Amino acid sequence: GFNRRRLFIMRTMGYLIKRNMKLFFKDKGMLISSLITPIILLVLYITFLGRVYKDIFIQNFPESFEIDDKLINGFVSSQLFSSLFAVSCITISFCNNLIMIQDKVTGANNDFITSPVRKPLIIGSYYFSTIFSSSIICFLAMIVCFIYMGIVGWYLSVIDVLLIMLDIVLLVLFGTTLSTILCYPLKTQGQMSAVGTMISSGYGFICGAYMPISQFGSVLQNILSFFPSTYATSLIRNHTMRGIIFEMEEIGFPNEVVTNIKNSVDYNTYFFGNLVEVWQMYLILGGFIIIFIMFFIVFYKIKLRNRKKIS
């Protein structure tokens, strides 16, 4: 009956998700690849970004103005945190989803096709296993970052922590949906490596993680304001830095200075001069996730229809 069929679907989906997750975590090369971006960001931070973030912060004050080191370190670490996850949630999702291509390369996909398991179920298992595996890695990295922030300067409230967790889940969903669209047509190891390299190296610049978009020219700022990645970065930055911004206001920093700081680090994000509110960022990011899912479904149905015509 219907209940038996539904139970079969759930069990099969669970088995496939578990299988994909095991493959990912057992494959040391793929696991290390997913961690390359966070490692690169940490190296960049130690050698370059930390100093840049600090200079961006200090340049908003007169030379004679004294600022507590804890406040500076808290500001820099919160900006690093947001930059790290704005990129890593996406790149880790891409690396996870490469299991889909790997199965095509090894021929495992052919075994699935000849089995009684329907193809949408197989694709769905890749999607959900990517979400679960990526979330595990991101939440473990989040704990490490929280420990670091606790050492150098903690300004987060419980609400901030919960909102950061929500942001990470949304970014993983965004990354998984985007990677599913881009990875599904790929069939070779070379294509897989090329896509992984492009995303790992280029996404951080597009989303404003390596360098705030406010530091770019006005034309490029306007172009990037059409990209959902811009608002994804600003969203998590709002929640990692909200506590420290509040602390600045409490200490008595001038409103103009606080506004300049918000603008300089993309805490405030603008669409052609209009300030984008946090709730609007959620709508933009959630909207694009839904649009990407619908696009993939339409793309898959068209491809399936074309195959039936050919056969």
pLDDT tens track, the chain, 311 positions: 557 777 877 888 888 889 888 888 887 776 776 677 677 767 777 677 777 777 777 777 777 677 788 888 888 888 888 888 898 888 888 888 888 888 877 776 666 666 666 777 888 888 999 999 999 989 988 888 898 888 888 899 999 999 999 999 999 999 999 988 888 887 776 777 677 777 767 787 888 887 888 888 889 899 999 999 999 999 999 999 999 999 888 888 888 888 888 988 889 999 988 999 999 999 999 999 999 999 988 888 887 777 666 65
pLDDT of residue 282: 95
CA–CA gap between residue 182 and residue 198 (Å, rounded)? 12
**Alpha helix ranges (H) inside 2-68:** 2-26, 28-44, 50-58
Q: In this structure, what DSSP letter does residue 99 have?
A: H
What is the sign, positive or negative, of the torsion defined by CA atoms of 219, 225, 229, 234? positive
What is the sign, positive or negative, of the torsion defined by CA atoms of 169, 37, 56, 244? positive
pLDDT of residue 2: 58
pLDDT of residue 131: 93
Contact at 8 Å (CB) between 81 and 240?
yes
CA–CA gap between residue 234 and residue 265 (Å, rounded)? 9
